[in-house]
A = this chain, B = another copy of it.
């Protein structure tokens, strides 16, 4: 593992993106997304995905030559077409637009069709929280998870984010509708370890905690079994309805790999309606109560989503951001 200073990391990624054809402003914004996701400890959706992203640009899966377009609007609601542009840039812009619209309308929604993978969605929820708003956002994905009772992967793992601003640290949940990511299964299989709980089915159709058996069957488990499967479908359908976006089945049947996704960004300007300090106090008391839970013997430490973010950032700023050596070689080769 290499430890790269955050500024060096950002500058290097910016240079590689400019080389790939992005203008300096978009290159810098995109580099910040990759670098900061790693800085905040979400390595799977940070620099690790950079070489893949460059490949997608080269193959025309992610298009450089388009800008998102507003195709319809009414009050606090807008429908955008992303025209297959870079997902993180479109997501950042759509979330910012929802925040701006909510400033005027109290609540706002920007739904986006034909965008691309947004890397780590928690980033956009955090951006809304930094602007003092609560946010709810979700995406669909390629088909990567079977429906409940099925063997072939016709559902997406369709991540959802809920973000609530708080003076002492925002609360941000960022979760996919599968119990484990494929990346997690691969890491566990390589190290020969079992999953802590069942994560899918083996070839015989039995639930298993053996990551290799799940990778062989490609039958990953929806989070909460039938519940995550139902939620995945509903998020997909809601996004498609709100934007006339591509559903998971359309994305799956596209001869090109995962592209043209559907995303929805909702912002709630609640601090314009209620006292922010009072809301903060309510949240502080709730988290304090939760953290005061009686711990289960041998259980995981009780914490709230977002709790460790600041300490990870601090560590990675001090020591450098951990980057896989092979990944870094690929980044440098793109300069």
> CB within 8 A of A162: which of B151, B234, B273, B279?
B234
- Whether the Cβ atoms of A270 and B299 lie closer than 8 Å is no
Tell me whether B106 and A73 are in contact (CB under 8 A). Answer: yes
A142 CB to nearest chain B CB (Å): 13
Distance of A150 Cα from B298 Cα, bound (Å): 10
State which of A61-69, A84-92, A223-231 sits at the interface with chain B: A223-231
**A213 touches B (CB below 8 Å):** no
Interface pair A293/B109, CB less than 8 Å apart = no
Check B152 against A268 for contact (C-beta < 8 Å): no
Q: Say what secondary structure dominates the interface of chain A.
A: mixed
A305 touches B230 (CB 8 A): yes
- Judge if A175 is at the interface, Cβ distance under 8 Å: yes
Chain B contacts for A155, CB-based, 8 A = 290
Could you tell me if B233 and A223 are in contact, using CB atoms closer than 8 angstroms?
A: no
Q: Could you tell me how many residues of chain A have their Cβ less than 8 Å away from some Cβ of chain B? A: 93
- Whether A244 pairs with B279 at a CB distance below 8 angstroms is yes
A residues within 8 Å of B by Cβ?
Answer: 72-79, 104-109, 111, 134, 136, 146-152, 154-155, 162, 164-165, 171, 173, 175, 179, 197, 201, 205, 207, 219, 223-228, 230-231, 233-238, 240-245, 247-250, 266, 268-270, 272-275, 278-279, 282-283, 285-287, 289-290, 292-305
The 9 closest A-B pairs by CB, nearest first: A77-B106, A223-B224, A150-B293, A75-B105, A249-B289, A74-B106, A149-B300, A149-B299, A72-B273
